[in-house]
Structure 1
Amino acid sequence: MAHRPDTLEHAPLGRDSAYPEQYDAGLLYPIPRAANRAPLGIEEGDLPFIGEDEWHAFEVSWLNSRGKPIVAVARFRLPAASPHLIESKSWKLYLNSFNQTRFYSREDVMKTLAHDLAAAAGAEVSVELFDVDAPELSARSLPGECLDDLDIAISDYTPSSTHLTVGEEIVEETLYSHLLKSNCPVTGQPDWGSVLVRYKGPKIDREGLLRYLIGFRQHQDFHEHCVEHIFTDLMAQAKPTQLLVLARYVRRGGLDISPWRATPGLTPPTPLRLARQ
């Protein structure tokens, strides 16, 4: 992969881009995670969480050895411990570079994807390919209790951890909201999603939690960093002994991103795809 600056200033996001005609791994554009983690007090090599960024790609196609198009849906899992995330538009351009490229088998496609994505991320990336009507892609609902029917007044649309308060009762519960919205840090485009919080510890005030989550409505950041922001604020303010934060963002440009971060020992319910995705 050709060396290029890995700052947003040079990223393809927000720029006019020609779609490639042939396979090109050099289209992938890595972004260091460290720059956005530092303001949250997160140090590389000493992460306070485990987790993954799960991507689904719906514009995946290539030619077989006889030139016939094959289509699929791809699922990628990128570890949170990887030094880089991959900028989404560059990922889309890279996937579209397969469109007119011949591969002998589905396995060859998977090996190529895994190799190139690992090189960009700096860590092993899991790759799965599904038929477009595979049952694994069926929609499900989030587990737990929904916060969205709480009748609350809202006047603050930037994230503030002061909304996060707790009581003395120790509980173990799963809560979720479909009211998550953040904005792309480059283009300003809205990113819509649902967020799940599973925790064990002092009971979190539900109205305050919903106000806090709605506070991301005018916040500009990548999906992955929004989840890490929520995780670190909840750990600091609520001090749970166990915590899982998972976001399921709606697809844009043929890609959806669903990051999760958790204390060791917790994992998200999988497979989990929502109807809105």
Structure 2
Amino acid sequence: MSLTDAPLGHHVAYPDQYDPTLLFPIERAANRAALGLGAAAHLPFHGADIWTAYELSWLNAKGKPQVAMAVVTIPADSPRLVESKSFKLYLNSLNQTRLDDEALLRERLAQDIGAAVGADVELDLIMPRDFAAQGIAELGGTDLDALDIAIDTYQPAPGLLRHAPDSRDGDIVEETLVSRLLKSNCPVTGQPDWGSVQIRYRGRAIDRVALLKYIVSLRQHAGFHEHCVEQIHTDIMRACAPAELTVYARYTRRGGLDINPWRSNAPGVRVDATRTARQ
């Protein structure tokens, strides 16, 4: 199947019966080939796509509606990702579905999504009793957006990336840089995707002005969230060759879903899944 077969960009009827076939998988291989990356077994990074579903509802055994949020973590080495509108339609197909308990819902979600992406997924349910404990925090790091610079490039320009002018071979820094100016466009509908990005690295210092210009250069780029993060990671690695690099983006929600991919070549890295204020 191709993207033209996906529900994204088409008028579709919302389902009222549970239907796991609504999930529309997309192969990761084509985009990775365009970046010059190999098969999943030989990727130069690891990571995950963290989805937050804010509009999850079903019926209990007595027909009473239940609500929850779900956090779904899809490994980056899965052969497929899921198209977001199909994910929304799938979740909505549970609205009139009777389930005996939370455990059955969790099992069904993990099984269906895992089958679509071709890998085991992590799935956490956040029940109403835990809603008040859900926090909001910004991505940590030095804010690049305060830089007062002129920008005129709005298509991906990896040639902008470079080391800091005063850095030298052998000079090693370890820093975290953040920007809220990440924007790209859906490759199917052209709708804007807004996000914040965090870049953690160890190596020769990266020119911060050049990095911010590069981040903004994705502004008119057409690419899925996951693909954009992989492109950022790949471009920085090729231009600046840090010993360790983690790229983490948190995108604002659409249709009750946000997608938050991260990619890293550093062993043992984990990311904080707390949502940002814009999410």
Partner of 1:142: 139
CA distance in 2, matches of 1:219, 1:146: 23
Deviations 1:160-184 (A, max 9, x none): 1111110323210000000000000
Corresponding letter in the other structure for 2:205: K
Query: Is contact 2:137–2:277 with CA below 8 Å preserved after alignment?
Result: yes
Aligned to 2:249: 247
List alignment gaps of at least 5 residues for structure 1. Answer: none
Alignment correspondent of 1:59: 55
- Cα offset for 1:134? 2.3
Partner of 1:49: 45
State the partner residue of 2:86: 90
CA deviations on 1:120-166 (whole Å, 9 max, x unpaired) are: 00000111110245255310121110100100001100111111110
Q: Deviations over 1:90-142 (max 9, x none)?
A: 00000000000000000000000000001000000111110245255310121
In the TM superposition, residue 9 of structure 1 has moved relative to its aligned partner by 1.5
Matches within 5 A, 1:6-155: 7-44=2-39, 45-132=41-128, 134-135=131-132, 137-155=134-152
Aligned to 2:159: 162
Question: Helix, strand or coil: the match of 2:124?
Answer: strand
CA pair 113-126 structure 1, distance change in 2 beyond 3 A:
same
8 Å Cα contact 1:201/1:241 also seen in 2: yes
* Equivalent of 1:200 in 196, 199, 202: 202
CA contact (8 A) 1:136 1:271 kept: no
In structure 2, give the amino acid aligned to 1:127: L
Give TM-score, length-normalised by structure 1: 0.96
Q: 3-state DSSP class of the match of 2:26?
A: strand
Distance in structure 2 (CA, Å) of the matches to 1:163 and 1:268:
28
| Structure 1: distance between partners of 2:183 and 2:270 | 21
Give the conservation status (yes or no) of the 8 Å contact 2:53–2:71. yes
Instruction: Give 1:207's aligned amino acid.
Output: V
CA contact (8 A) 1:243 1:266 kept: no
Q: How many residues align?
A: 272
Bigger drift between 137-146 and 248-257 goes to 137-146
Q: Distance in 1 between matches of 2:190 and 2:138?
A: 29
| TM-score for the superposition, normalised by structure 2 | 0.95
Distance in 1 (CA, whole Å) between partners of 2:271 and 2:29 is 27
What SS does structure 2 have at the residue aligned with 1:218? Answer: coil
Show the counterpart of 2:213.
211
Shift of residue 267, structure 1, vs aligned partner: 2.0
Hey, what does 1:175 align to over in structure 2? 177
In structure 2, distance between residues paired with 1:9 and 1:35: 15
> CA contact under 8 A between 1:242 and 1:266: conserved in structure 2?
no
Letter in 1 for 2:259: I
| Aligned-residue identity in percent | 55
| Aligned counterparts, 1:232-271, within 5 A | 232-271=234-273
- In 1, Cα distance between the equivalents of 2:82 and 2:140? 29
RMSD: 1.0
The list of structure 1 runs, each at least 4 consecutive aligned residues, that deviate by more than 3 angstroms after superposition, is none
CA contact (8 A) 2:246 2:266 kept: no
Hey, what's the Cα distance between the residues in 1 that align with 2:79 and 2:154?
30
- Where in structure 2 are there 5+ consecutive unaligned residues? none
Provide closer, same or farther for how the CA distance between residues 37 and 115 of structure 1 changes in structure 2, counting only shifts above 3 A.
same
Shift of 1:269: 3.1
Distance 1:108 1:220 in 2: 38
Q: Secondary structure at the match of 2:172?
A: strand
1:55 CA drift (Å)? 0.2
